[in-house]
Amino acid sequence: MADIFDSYTLADAWDEMFERPGIVRPAYGAVFSALQSLDANELRFRTDQMARTFTDRGVTYSFGGEERPFPLDLVPRILDAVEWDTIVRGVQQRVRALEAFLADAYGHQRAFKDGVVPYRLLYSSQHFNRAAHGIEPPGGVRIHVAGIDLVRDQDGGFRVLEDNVRVPSGVSYVIENRRVMTRVLPSLFAEQPVRPVDEYAQRLLGALRACAPEGVTDPVVVVLTPGVANAAYFEHALLARLMGVQLVEGRDLVCSGNRVRMRTTRGETPVHVVYRRMDDDFLDPLHFRPDSVIGCPGILSAAHAGNVTLANAVGNGIADDKLLYTYVPDLIRYYLAEEPALPNVESFRPEEPGQLEAVLDQLDRLVLKPVDGAGGKGIVIGPQADRPALDRLAAQVRADPRGWIAQRPVALSTSPTLTGTAEGYDGVAPRHIDLRPFAVNNGDDIWLLPGGLTRVALGEGNLVVNSSQGGGSKDTWVLPGPRAPREAVPAAPQPSYEQHGFAAADGVTPRQFGPGAPSVTEQGAQQQ
């Protein structure tokens, strides 16, 4: 019987599973053996199982106005221990440098005075919030959670594509992908010692409790969501449930006397740490957008007074600015006195004298990105664009060179991916992928969730992997080293709800995780 890999043809890029035609990379040996005998009926049955499970659990997304189960491919993406070690060192280094930059940008601004980064970058960024100046976060942590997007180039090396340190999304897919894969294809895990992903919620809770205001020994932590209409609401609800904390909206919080309290059926109770999942603009109508109805008036003043910690910190968006991305290797050298462990993709700054014309002269050979874009929106891939699109792009870049960066196209690595339709799956074909590792910073250590989110562009030749653009995902496996035992997880003390005057289920609006939770629009938060 023919197997699903019989017709697989390598693309002109690094292939994750095959070294060359017919030669499987060592890490994929067991998975290849388990998958190669599956026929079309088995593929259809198992894929339908995954889709039904995601629909039942509310793991859906909106595409073209239609609510769909999040696409999960049957073929996992596998990283060996050496590769993962390189990623861990590179991401930890990058997060440390960005932490130092944010402290500097809202403090003494030494990097600007020393000419490492121009002042114009700071003051022209729409995400630089002067209201954040003067907030001293506990432990100096502003980036409690980071999602650093990586790609593997044609030579097999990892490069950083983007930094996400405002409201990085997608970790719920990592958790749910693993849950579904172990149920639908348990045989894949029979011979592979895959590192678990179920530690994330405990690590996150530990980091959030560690950043509580000084003198608070038993902090109350909440997850602040824009509401059920937000595209990432499922993730907000899932994380709150897994951490055992309340999921609240702005209307559930009240600020008075520079302190934040949560309304419950037993009255108001103090809140010390807010893991907020909405953008700065919507967080506090007294300081940002006055028309915001999803934030909490006065919460920023409470943070200034040191009575509540906001995670991630207000003002982090300056570090997400894609123009700053081009300076991060220099920031690593400046703040850490180290060479970058993970290089950037080769990039250009149209706003710099001399680079604008050079970029415009080769638009058909570059990738252009808006500096404040998210979710793949606004990206123009020059080699795939027609002349009218390039002409429109040239006019936009010339009118606002600060609003764009340009990058050399990278032949993103490919991975075997199931192709076909719901009515019939006909095999696998190479599809381009990226990787978003999630880092949790507790002030003493930066921990990476083993694997992270592998996103896959489902269209042939497509380089945009975002779910909002029709992309899917893969379960990402990290194989332990030969002597690496399962890492012990520091115990995070659980919240003492009764001590603070309410029971675990007594909030007025304890937004619970459940099947069918809609996720159709983005309201007050970027789906990064």
Per-residue pLDDT reduced to its tens digit, 203-233: 999 999 999 999 999 999 999 999 998 888 9
The pLDDT of residue 509 is above 50: no
DSSP state of 459: S
Q: What is the pLDDT of residue 523?
A: 41
Neighbours of 139 (CB within 10 A): 17
Judged by DSSP in three states, 101 sits in: helix
Single-letter code of the amino acid located at 215? G
Q: What is the pLDDT of residue 374?
A: 72
Beta-bridge mates of residue 125: none
Q: What is the pLDDT of residue 378?
A: 86
Q: What is the pLDDT of residue 130?
A: 87
Q: What is the pLDDT of residue 375?
A: 63
What residue has token string 């990290």? 478
Neighbours of 209 (CB within 10 A): 24
pLDDT average, residue stretch 56-75: 75
Neighbours of 264 (CB within 10 A): 21
509 CB-near residues (< 8 Å, 6+ apart)? 248, 249, 251, 252
Is residue 467 within 8 Å of 63, Cβ to Cβ?
yes
In whole angstroms, what is the distance from residue 248 CA to residue 260 CA? 13
pLDDT average, residue stretch 451-475: 81
Which one has a higher pLDDT value, 459 or 219?
Answer: 219
The pLDDT of residue 92 is above 70: yes
Judged by DSSP in three states, 218 sits in: coil
The pLDDT of residue 503 is above 60: no
Counting residues of the chain whose pLDDT is more than 70, the rounded percentage is: 86
In whole angstroms, what is the distance from residue 9 CA to residue 37 CA? 18
Residue 276's pLDDT band, with cuts at 50, 70 and 90, is very high
Single-letter code of the amino acid located at 218? D
Is the pTM above the cut of 0.85?
yes
Is residue 374 within 8 Å of 527, Cβ to Cβ?
yes
pLDDT digits over 296-332, tens only?
999 999 999 999 999 999 999 999 999 999 999 999 9
Which pair of tokens denotes residue 141? 């942590």
pLDDT digits over 329-351, tens only?
999 999 999 999 999 999 999 99
pLDDT digits over 140-165, tens only?
999 999 999 999 999 999 999 999 99
Q: What are phi and psi of 329, to 5 degrees?
A: -55, -40
Which pair of tokens denotes residue 455? 């996103």
What residue has token string 């980091």? 207
Neighbours of 365 (CB within 10 A): 11
The angle, 0 to 180 degrees and rounded to 10, between the axes of the packed helices 81-105 and 328-336 is: 80
Q: What is the pLDDT of residue 1?
A: 39
Q: What is the pLDDT of residue 241?
A: 97
Which one has a higher pLDDT value, 446 or 471?
Answer: 446
Lowest mean pLDDT among 171-180, 307-316, 373-382: 373-382
pLDDT digits over 16-49, tens only?
999 999 899 999 999 998 888 777 778 778 888 8
